[in-house]
Amino acid sequence: MGSSKIARSVVVSAVAVSVALAGCSTKATVGSGSASGGPGGVKTDVGVTDKEITLGNLTDLSGVFKILGLGITQGTQMWAEDVNAKGGICGRQIKITTQDHGYSAEKAVPLYQQSKGQVLGYVQLLGSPILAALKKPITDDNIAAVPSSWASTNLDVPEVVMVGATYDVEMVDGLAYLLSKGKIMEGDTLGHIYVDSEYGKNGLKGSTYFADAHKMKVVQAAVTSTDSDLTSAITQLKSAGVKAILLTTTPAQTASAVGQAAAQGLDVPVFGNNPTFAPQLLATPAAAALTSGQFITVAGIQPFASDAPVVKALAAKYKAKYTDTPTFGPLVGYTFGETWGQILKTACDAGDLTRQGILNARAKTMVDTGGLAPGVLDFTSLGSPSTRAVWIMKPAKVEGGLELVEKQPYTAPEAASYKTPFQK
């Protein structure tokens, strides 16, 4: 990866680094006609002073999802700087503390214990294994956290503030799109390679649901997150005669899968969940296969190269501030920040910036990101995804490595009717 301000500021040995984001004024009133906009009229407990609101950022800056983790971290920093430049929220500046767990739950747990006493909540908690390890602690501690992990099996508690469609919903949307374009047919056999974790299993939940609805068969190939060579998995799928390859994997595994499919003459559509792709893959031998038109992916945030005004403005800010290869990660991070910002404003209007006040506010929050996310994100229904719409994208030699296949968000009828595990 290229150098960047946030990369230079992070100690990869996983020691927390506090990044105070200076703004202009600390005397902003939040909310229309709110009497609780100033520091003195608001209840607080942990992570909030009269001048600052501190949010944590537990991410991967050195492991298998380090590219995504860095991009999201940069996006949250950009959001905080923009908020602070306008006076902050509830009369307070936003401060973010960043810790690198390297995609290791063993590292994440003690880092959480170190930081939880200083933060109101977490603006990013990256990784399914990390969320699995910390779900009970954040629930016990009443701490809201936005995970960079989208398994619908974690929507049963209000502390998990999931921004965007879940992996199972993404898979249903992607398969429905392939079916609508004639890329797959009723009764086909599909091959699904997935990381054997909450991440992969939730993607598999979506593929098996869709397959059952369309008389299809899913051939499963489970891998670990550290498996680097997927030759045997592709060989297995080819022998089974699959008509499409589905991926819920790491970016490196995506490169191996599409490269091996091409090498073995398995010329079928490939669909990957968010976050199976990273633009750095276009500098690998897998680039030709990825850009052949057979691979598509989806995400809950627009790609970096989108011509949407909100994306163009953020892309310009990013390039002026950082030198890393652009990804859609910064836009994800900015959307995480926008979500936290709206929750904080709602809590401020209610005069309660305690941890419980944040959870109360979350249950009343809907977020319009101005086009970053597809439509309005709805956090009012516990158990339901905040959206079932996705952006459909394909790899291309553009900034960020992805371009839109469809200019409008896509929601399949099957995704709209699909019931997630804890949906009421």
pLDDT tens digits, one per residue of 6-44: 444 433 333 333 333 333 333 333 332 333 344 568 999
Residue 326 in domain: yes
Whole-number pLDDT of residue 235: 98
Q: Is residue 83 part of a domain?
A: yes
How many Cβ atoms from other residues are within 10 Å of residue 35's Cβ? 10
219 pLDDT more than 80: yes
Same domain, 397 and 333: no
Question: Helices marked H in 116-230 — which ranges?
Answer: 128-140, 167-180, 198-213
148/17 same-domain check: yes
pLDDT tens-place string over residues 289-309: 999 999 999 999 999 999 999
| Domain match, 196 and 295 both | yes
- Pairing mode of beta strands 52-59, 93-100: parallel
Note the pLDDT of residue 70: 95
What is the pLDDT, as a whole number, of residue 41? 87
Q: Which two tokens stand for residue 30?
A: 């939040």
Give the pLDDT of residue 37: 40
SS3 state at 304: coil
- The CATH number linked to 270 is 3.40.50.2300
In a domain, 113, yes or no: yes
b/e per residue 120-148 (b: at least 16 CB within 10 A) = bbbbbbbbbbbbbbbbeebeebbbbbbbb
Lookup: tokens for 129: 């294994």
Evaluate whether residue 155 is within a structural domain: yes
For the residues of 323-361, what is the DSSP string, one character each? Answer: -SPP-SHHHHHHHHHHHHHHHHHHHHHTTEESHHHHHHH
Same domain, 261 and 406: yes
Asked whether residue 284 falls in the same domain as residue 336, the answer is: no
pLDDT at 424 (0 to 100)? 87
Q: Do 68 and 141 belong to one domain?
A: yes
What band does 328 get if pLDDT is binned at 50, 70 and 90? confident
- pLDDT of the residue at 39: 56
User: What's the confidence (pLDDT) of residue 40?
Assistant: 61
Q: Which of 71, 132, 5, 55 is nearest to 274 (CA)?
A: 71
Is 237 inside a domain boundary? Answer: yes
Question: In terms of domains, do 159 and 186 share one?
Answer: no
Indicate the SS3 state at residue 424: coil
Lowest mean pLDDT among 81-85, 165-169, 280-284, 361-365: 280-284
Averaged over 257-270, what is the pLDDT?
Answer: 97
385 in a structural domain: no
Sequence-ordered strand ranges (E) for 30-165: 43-44, 52-59, 93-100, 121-126, 145-148
Query: Based on the domain organization, do 208 and 287 belong to the same domain?
Result: yes
User: What is the domain range of residue 407?
Assistant: 167-299+391-417
Closest CA to 250 of 7, 59, 67, 57: 67
Q: Give domain status of residue 147, yes or no.
A: yes
- Nearest by Cα to 334 from 123, 160, 96: 123
Same domain, 224 and 331: no
> 311 and 271, same structural domain?
no
Rounded to an integer, the average pLDDT of 221-247 is: 97
Banded pLDDT at 404 (limits 50, 70, 90): very high
pLDDT in tens, 113-168: 999 999 999 999 999 899 999 999 999 999 999 999 999 999 999 999 999 999 99
Is residue 424 in a domain? no
The reply to whether 226 and 258 lie within a common domain is yes
The DSSP bridge pattern shows strands 391-395 and 402-404 to be antiparallel
Domain count for the chain: 2
Same structural domain for residues 288 and 407?
yes
Pick left, alpha or beta for residue 214 (phi over 0 → left; psi -120 to 50 → alpha; otherwise beta).
Answer: alpha
- One-letter identity of residue 186: E
User: Which pLDDT band holds residue 245 (cuts at 50, 70, 90)?
Assistant: very high
